[in-house]
Structure 1
């Protein structure tokens, strides 16, 4: 079946372990489309098991763009993501294909829909400074500091979201302006296309069960060997964004003797559930989206056909 792209894109969003990839593939079986990943963890090469990256065989049959594009020690900004995503969206539309953007990284989706803010770029010195603060103080204390500096940002950033907390503090240190103030001044590079939103949101209890089962399966499939291999790379450390991905930090600490195996598994599952909770909170604010509690391709096709008229 072909649904005319009509200068439109699909945002297929959902929390971790909700089944977004399976639904994206199901859609691609029915529609002439191009899948574009919107996931800040799938960009890294060599991080396959712990990120639940689609298998090589699956990617061969159903290619995903913006996967395996950089090394774990390399930086990757939201600006780079937007540039790449726009390039692949344009390519899909030129080929008369419907771009399906699938993932759970909210700030990537937000940047595409609303444009980028003129935020100062991180420096090695500032990153090191705030990573050291994070190690000394912990994310909750830094979150309280952010509440004093930038209450608006602190309200929407979870106290456990260390990456976004340190970034908000870094922005203030580098620019003298708060993150919320700078983000209020978006530039004009937002998507000038119709966005059709689909949110896959299973029940919370179901998600918790899936998260636990998936992580246990990751362990069985060699996740610890994957992390052991990553630790051999002298360029990697826990301050990098790649090693902050849920599961990887806990496994790294396990090898450092901080946790035993049982503790590591429990902490990784808890961290993944906290990520899931943050994603669900963000997704509940999405408007005019098709909300699904389970994979239902018929509802998706009907929705896309209605939106196309």
Structure 2
């Protein structure tokens, strides 16, 4: 069997194959943390003192037209420092982990070629993990097949699709909840496309990992209750800015349903339910806040499994100074950004 092609570009300038002992990988900063931990503000603070370009690691910010609920950087921030991997696809389209890894590695390579440091900032922990560990050789997403699976699910229900997965791939079915339509769909898709269980493919060695020296920073709240207050304040601010109108406009313009990846995003899912008159405004708020708190909990669980990272209390008053000092200690050369 032939080796899978690498998903990232390698050049003689970045990897000297003739002298492996002399290989030095360029630095990249990982700025990770749960939702509402202040990642965007710290990223801009880093950009004021180091020659970086920001690469978004956010599975929701790839969607165009979804600005308020994804907390995208404003026009002033975008003008101040280059941002990458934002507004890549329309709300009715899909974006896979494999696409992100490829796009991120291309962006990182181009940033490094310009003499700058890639600063990867976001809260989609799976993206960070796949960058570090490499991808398994799973087949890419197939939109036609996904529509067929969705149509079958609309007719029979996702519990029945989970039963089908149980027959095709018992190991995957055991770890995927019957209510998790997104993962059921992907596991079935892989089974159909590869002709073998996804769990079997995942056991095989992964593609090569990250060809960079990762400086990993994690923003962890010292007080979970304070983070929850931030989450509540931010969601109320999103509603004030027009989140409901944003979702309504997207709903009117694109062919979507509650199973569309864009409308599975936290906040958007609950507003969609409100617009469909499935819940009232008060319930929408409660459900959105509960879902966001659960998201933050999952993000923190991912972070706790991450190795060789430096933790900072995202609630600390001197957080910017702490982060700047740590980056200087790693050997990064500071440079003024005009």
Deviation at 1:70, TM superposition (A): 1.5
Alignment of structure 1 residues 1-309 onto 2, 5 Å: 7-131=26-150, 137=157, 142=162, 149-151=169-171, 155=175, 162-202=181-221, 203-294=223-314, 296-308=319-331
Deviation at 1:79, TM superposition (A): 2.2
Taking the aligned partners of 1:275 and 1:147, their CA distance within structure 2 comes to 30
- How many residues align? The count is 304
Taking the aligned partners of 1:280 and 1:158, their CA distance within structure 2 comes to 21
Taking the aligned partners of 1:60 and 1:162, their CA distance within structure 2 comes to 38
Deviation at 1:231, TM superposition (A): 1.2
- CA change 1:34–1:89 in 2 (3 A) is same
* Aligned CA-pair RMSD: 2.9
Taking the aligned partners of 1:192 and 1:25, their CA distance within structure 2 comes to 25
Contact 1:35–1:100 (Cα < 8 Å) also in 2 = yes
Taking the aligned partners of 1:184 and 1:210, their CA distance within structure 2 comes to 40
Taking the aligned partners of 1:281 and 1:305, their CA distance within structure 2 comes to 28
Contact 1:82–1:111 (Cα < 8 Å) also in 2 = yes
Contact 1:153–1:180 (Cα < 8 Å) also in 2 = no
Contact 1:146–1:169 (Cα < 8 Å) also in 2 = no
Taking the aligned partners of 1:147 and 1:308, their CA distance within structure 2 comes to 53
- CA change 1:287–1:102 in 2 (3 A) is same
Q: Structure 1: state its 5+ residue gaps.
A: none
- CA change 1:123–1:93 in 2 (3 A) is closer
Q: Judge which range, 99-108 or 166-175, deviates more.
A: 166-175
Taking the aligned partners of 1:144 and 1:15, their CA distance within structure 2 comes to 34
Superposed CA deviations along residues 80-130 of structure 1, whole A, max 9, x for unmatched, are: 222221122112212221111011112211221111211123334542354
- CA change 1:246–1:82 in 2 (3 A) is same
- CA change 1:196–1:172 in 2 (3 A) is same
**Which secondary structure does the structure 2 equivalent of 1:232 belong to?**
helix
Contact 1:13–1:104 (Cα < 8 Å) also in 2 = yes
Q: Structure 2: state its 5+ residue gaps.
A: 1-23, 333-338
- Compare CA radii of gyration and give the structure with the larger one: 2
Contact 1:49–1:222 (Cα < 8 Å) also in 2 = yes
Contact 2:172–2:187 (Cα < 8 Å) also in 1 = no
Deviation at 1:230, TM superposition (A): 0.7
Taking the aligned partners of 1:38 and 1:291, their CA distance within structure 2 comes to 18
**Which secondary structure does the structure 1 equivalent of 2:282 belong to?**
helix
